[in-house]
Amino acid sequence: MAELGFIGLGIMGKPMAGHLLAAGHTVRVYDVVSESVKELASKGAEACSNSREVAQKSNIVFIMVPDTPDVEAVLFGKDGVTEGIKSGSIVVDMSSISPIATKEFAKKLAALGVKMLDAPVSGGQVGAEKATLSIMVGGQPEVFAQIKPYFEIMGKNIVYIGTNGDGQTCKVANQIVVGMTIEAISEALLFASKAGADPAKVREALLGGFAQSRILDLHGQRMIERKFGPGFRIRHQQKDLNNALEAAHKLGLSLPGTAIVQELFNAVAAQEGGSNLDHSALVLALEMLGNCKVSE
C-alpha cells in the first residue's frame, strides 16, 4: 500500500488531505500552521515536523501551497522534500504555479530519480470540501495512471493534459477564462443597474440563456448581495494572471484582455483589505470607474 504525504493544509489542502484519510489511507502531513496539522492528526494523520520528514516517510508526496516560490521552498529549501525523498518516489504538486518553473522542478526531481505530476485544481474551497474538484494533470501517462485513484478521492473531473507543465498551462487558461468572465458579468450587471433594470432579475434571465455560467450563478449573486468574503482571494487570482502574463511574454504572445482584467484586480487589491476579498469583488473597481453600484 502506498505511503502518502501531504504538505500544505490551507483552505484547500486540509479538506483534500482529509478525504485521503477518510478513504482509509495513512497520510503524513505538514504545514507551517501547526493548528491544521493538529486537526488532521486528531483524525488519524501522522504529524511531521517538516517537509523532509514527510518525504522520508512517504513514497507519494502531495503538495498544496500558494505560489511558485512556496513550491520551490518545499521541494528544494532547507528541510525540504529533496532532503528526504527516496528514488522511485512521486511528487504530485497540486498548487497553481508557473508552468515554466514546473518544467524546471520536474527536471531537477528526475535527476534524483523522482517522478513528478503537476495537478492544479479548480473548484475552490467548496470543491475541495465536497471532493468535486476539477484536476488538470501534466506528467508521464503511466504516473498519472498510478495516481489517478487518489485524484478520484479528491475530485470529479480529472483530465490528463500532457507532459510536465501542461497541467499548469491548463490552470492558467482556466484562470484567464474565470477572470475575464467575472469582468464581463461585472460590466453586465453594472450596466443593468445604471440603466434602471433590476440586476437580480437580469441575472435570473441571463441564467436561462446562452450567457449562463457557473460564475454568473455564484459570483453574480455575490455582486448583487455584496458578499465578498473569500471564496477565492483576489491575491490568488492576481498570482494566476501574473503566471499567464509572464508566460505569454516569454512566448511572444499578447493577452490584452487578461492584462486589463489584471489591472482591475490590482485596483481592488490596492484598497485596504482588498487583496483578501473574493475575486468577485473585481466589480468594485468598475463601480468606482462608473460612480455607481450594482446594488446598495
- Active site amino acids: 171
* CA 253/CA 259 separation, integer angstroms: 12
* CA 120/CA 99 separation, integer angstroms: 11
Q: Where are the alpha helices (DSSP H) in 62-212?
A: 68-76, 99-110, 124-130, 141-154, 166-194, 199-206
**H-run or E-run covering 46:** strand 46-47
**Contacts with 135 (C-beta within 8 Å, 6 or more apart), sequence order:** 94, 119, 120, 121, 151, 154, 155, 157, 158, 159
**H-run or E-run covering 223:** helix 214-225
3-state secondary structure of 277: coil
Interior/surface letters 44-63, b for 16+ CB within 10 angstroms, e for the rest: ebbbbebbbbbbbbbebbbb
* CA 140/CA 155 separation, integer angstroms: 20
